[in-house]
Amino acid sequence: MDIYERIKQDHDAVRELCAQVEDTTNRAEKKREQLFRQISLEIWAHHKVEEATFYEAFKKKGETGDAFEAQNEHHMLNNMMDELATMPVDSEQWQKKFGAMKELLDHHLDEEEEDFFPKAKKIFSKEEAQSLGKMFDGRKKVTLAAITPLEEIAS
């Protein structure tokens, strides 16, 4: 799997989790909390690994502007997730903020897939894209495992 397919796989998984959150009602507090927790871990690990692999390689090829733009959006999204974690999931405040986070997230994921991937495909060879995909996958597994609390792995 090359880097584009591997990143897209994560994007689709997180899109699906967000859609599931939007399907929950205020009364399904536990379910919403659990989904939110999963999204936070996924997003955090995805951003870190994407920065250390895809965007590092992008910068090395001179595409620093795009890499910084993406990192800036990662930063904003991580902050929004941290803020959401401090609010009750059944509050109006949480729902508004989650909606805003989701809007930025959708924009970010689409921009990566529709704008940065075509650019990257012009500057990375097929071999480079394959090896970046492998690197991403390996690092994502260990990063996600490292930040997941033990009781969540057990359940």
* Residue ranges in contact with Fe ion by CB under 5 A: 50, 112
Question: Among residues 7 and 89, whose Cβ is nearest to Fe ion?
Answer: 7
**Contact indicator for 83, 97 with CB cutoff of 8 Å:** yes
Q: Nearest approach, Cβ of 92 to Fe ion (angstroms)?
A: 28
DSSP-derived secondary structure for 46-59: HHHHHIIIIIHHHH
| Least distance (Å) between residue 109 CB and Fe ion | 6
Per 3-state DSSP, what percentage of the chain is helix, strand, and coil (rounded to 5)? 85, 0, 15
Give the residue with the Cβ less far from Fe ion, 2 or 112: 112
CA 42 to chain CA centroid, Å, is 6
Nearer to Fe ion, 20 or 71 (CB): 71
Nearer to Fe ion, 85 or 104 (CB): 104
Which are the contacts of 23, defined by CB distance < 8 A and separation ≥ 6? Answer: none
CB of 121 to Fe ion, least distance (A): 15
Min dist CB 143 to Fe ion, Å, is 14
- Cα distance between residue 124 and residue 150, in whole Å: 38
